Amino acid sequence: MDLDGTVYYGKDEVPGACDFIKTCQKKGIRILYVTNRANRPPEEIRDQLRSFKIPCETDDVLTAAQATARYLKKGSAYYIGEEGMRLALEEEGITLNDVNPDYVIVSFDREFNYAKLKKACSLIFKGAKFVASNPDRGLKMEDGISPGTGAIIAAVETGSAVKPLMIGKPEGIIFEMALQKLGMNKNEVIAIGDNVDTDIPAGITAGTRTALILTGISTYEEAMRSPHKATWTVRDFAELSALLEEI
């Protein structure tokens, strides 16, 4: 399951999310939360889900920050991001370096500014590999749609004239890690998300069935126009619960 726009809007629960998740757990269905956002550590996400009365352990969460650090494995990096990315890099043993790093990593950063943009582009010009956590253009928050990581990536890509290696959805890297973490094959998994540009193509690439829930960023009209067709499209958790009874 995706999180932003699927399970919560910022600090608010998406209506019906908790009941749906508890129903899944009663049926013995394992849920792994796979989020493109990289600014928060899994423990913080776990605590937010618990505040909605959603049972969650730290190991039930896989962030784009974790996926990025685990994919790179070693080396040094300059990153644009927040605490979640810093912790993930440090836990994986990747050295933080803003002089001559192996990688420039761009992720969600609410304090992004021109100085960070200039530094990132300069290091990429010097040979650092450009890596990005995810291309999400926007996030549905409690107060509406906010710019996502994709907006920051676009600035660095324009300034450096280099396209990044993308780790998060819609690329398959993070979903391959998710399947390994679950210990399941693709036929046993359904990917649920609100974004027809990231969640659904990631599931398709990984070979899983997909469910687009229209509680977040993507509209029904966008879903119909998209070349990435979900296995199922539902309006809300009531429809998703009904679907679960049929499959």
The identity of residue 178, as a single letter, is A
Joined together, the tokens standing for residue 15 give 């209506």
Q: Give yes or no for a contact between 112 and 130, defined as CB atoms under 8 angstroms apart.
A: no
Question: What pLDDT sits at residue 24?
Answer: 95
Give how far Cα 69 sits from Cα of 45, 95, 150, 184, Å: 18, 11, 19, 22
Residue 142 has pLDDT above 80, yes or no: no
The residues, ordered by sequence, that sit 6+ positions from 116 with a Cβ below 8 Å of its Cβ are: 80, 109
Q: How much is the pLDDT for 106?
A: 97
Residue 240: strand, helix, or coil: helix
Residue 144's pLDDT is 80
Give CA–CA dist 105/132, Å, rounded: 5
Percent of the chain whose pLDDT exceeds 90: 91
d(CA 12, CA 238): 18
User: pLDDT higher for 136 or 194?
Assistant: 194
Q: What is the CATH number of domain 65-166?
A: 3.40.50.1000
Which parts of the chain fold into alpha helices (H)?
17-26, 42-51, 64-72, 83-91, 114-125, 149-160, 173-182, 199-206, 220-225, 237-246
Residue-wise pLDDT tens digits, 199-247: 999 999 999 999 999 999 999 999 999 999 999 999 999 999 999 888 8
Residue 222 CB coordination number (10 Å): 14
What is the per-residue pLDDT across 145-156, written as a single tens digit (0 to 9) for each? 889 999 999 999
- For the domain spanning 8-64+170-246, the CATH number is 3.40.50.1000
Q: Does the predicted TM-score (pTM) go above 0.75? A: yes
CB 169 within 8 A of CB 197: no
* The two three-digit tokens of residue 173, written as one number: 């890297």
pLDDT number for residue 35: 95
Domain with CATH 3.40.50.1000 in the chain: 8-64+170-246, 65-166
Q: Which is nearest to 3 in space by CA: 78, 77, 84, 87?
A: 84
Distance CA 24, CA 179 (A): 18
For 162-174, how does the pLDDT look when each residue is reduced to its tens digit (9 = 90+)? 999 999 999 888 9
Q: What is the DSSP letter of 81?
A: S
Name the helix (H) or strand (E) containing 35.
strand 33-35
At residue 87, the pLDDT reads 97
Pairing mode of beta strands 12-13, 8-9? antiparallel
